Amino acid sequence: MNRVHNFSAGPAILPVEVLEKATEGLLEYQNKGRSIAEMSHRSAEYEAIDQQAKTRLTELLGLGDDFEIMFLQGGASSQFMMTPYNFLREDQTADYIDTGRWSNKAIKEAKLFGNVHRPYSSSDTGYDRVPGDDELELSANPVYVHFTSNNTVAGTQFATDPETNGVPLVCDASSDFLSKPIDVSKYGIIYAGAQKNVGPAGVTIVIIRKDFLAQADTENVPTILQYQTHAEKIFNTPPVFNVYMVNLVLEWIQEKGGLSYFKKYNQEKAALVYDEIDRDDFYRGAVQKDSRSLMNVTFRLPSEELEQQFLEEAEKIDLYTLKGHRSVGGIRASIYNACPRESVETLVNFMADFRSNNG
């Protein structure tokens, strides 16, 4: 097996150990004569997987009994609509911190249901930073404060949770979910598409605090789009194989040492790349230093021609999917939990050589 160094922003790299284990279940699960992908979501086997994954999430995040966990479909984009549909009415206001492409899309959806206030936006500077708490100008009585914890396109990340003075946080955590510990007591909802840090594309993890869920106004909300519909039960057919994969990734995270381990591991990997970027002015970080992401490292070279040459030469030594998002260009290295240090070191060595040959 010749695996390349995969820096894809998503669907992203998965742990080899998980892929090997999943291959066994794909062919035949627990000597049942059929694949996990062929089993009913009402079977005892799948119900055990579903419960185990929820238990592991509870343990990793320290959720206790205060939260509901749901495995839904439609990606984080569906949650841009589903959250305000359940919690925001025409005469109410929700605050949306605007720090990138995905928060802007969430704002567009929320405006269909109620008032949206932006307590901060970095759109005028190309989404090159996230705010400090002293920069947030919250509205008088928001029902929740929404933010995107890590911005995959720009390459920015909140180092700490925004301070909202007790207003529940709603977080699109798709690209840094389970990469570090968080204070769950501040959150009303955490949602994440699995395809960046916890599994393959096709399942969306939604975690809702029970007392916040009780405030949902579901009059005229279709049944399938009500969070309460999915609480404590499997309402409709989930993406069975994807949840199976997520459960294996959660097991892997626990075995490695949990969220504290990955916080340190991710800090070390990111530091290797940022140190190389900051060595001189050949490479230029795309965002302000105090807002840099540990998950998606974005940078530019002196010219677009050099950037294209960089990408072409990188692939020759198996460094793949380093092209920046089509909306911003440049270079982007996505170094999620499963990205091994070896891949990061190989990238950094290539960056040094490329500078020497072209600087």
**Annotated binding-site positions for pyridoxal 5'-phosphate:** 76-77, 102, 152, 172, 195, 236-237
- Residue among 310, 317, 313, 326 at smallest CA distance from 345: 317
Instruction: Classify each residue of 123-159 as buried b or exposed e, where b means 16 or more C-beta atoms within 10 Å of its C-beta.
Output: eeeebbbbbeeeebebbeebbbbbbbbbbbbbbbbbe
The token duo for 211 is 């007392």
HSE-CB for 264 with a 13 A CA cutoff: 5
Q: Please indicate whether residue 180 is annotated as part of the active site.
A: no
List the catalytic residue out of 196, 252, 269, 323.
Answer: 196
Helix/strand/coil for 208: strand
The token duo for 359 is 């600087």
List the catalytic residue out of 50, 95, 102, 323.
Answer: 102
Q: Burial, 179: exposed, middle or buried (Cβ in 10 Å; 0-12, 13-18, 19+)?
A: buried
Residues annotated as binding site?
42, 76-77, 102, 152, 172, 195, 236-237
Neighbours of 289 (CB within 10 A): 10
Contacts of 261 (CB under 8 A, 6+ apart): none
- Please give the full DSSP string across 335-354, using - where no structure is assigned: --TTS-HHHHHHHHHHHHHH
List the catalytic residue out of 128, 172, 180, 252.
Answer: 172
Q: Please indicate whether residue 172 is annotated as part of the active site.
A: yes
Residues annotated as binding site for L-glutamate?
42
Q: Please indicate whether residue 105 is annotated as part of the active site.
A: no
The single residue listed with the structure tokens 């009585």 is 141
In degrees and rounded to multiples of 5, residue 211 shows phi and psi of -70, -25
Q: Which residue(s) pair with 192 in the sheet?
A: 205
Cα 70 from Cα 224, distance rounded (Å): 13
The token duo for 273 is 């790349």
Q: Which of the residues are catalytic? A: 102, 172, 196
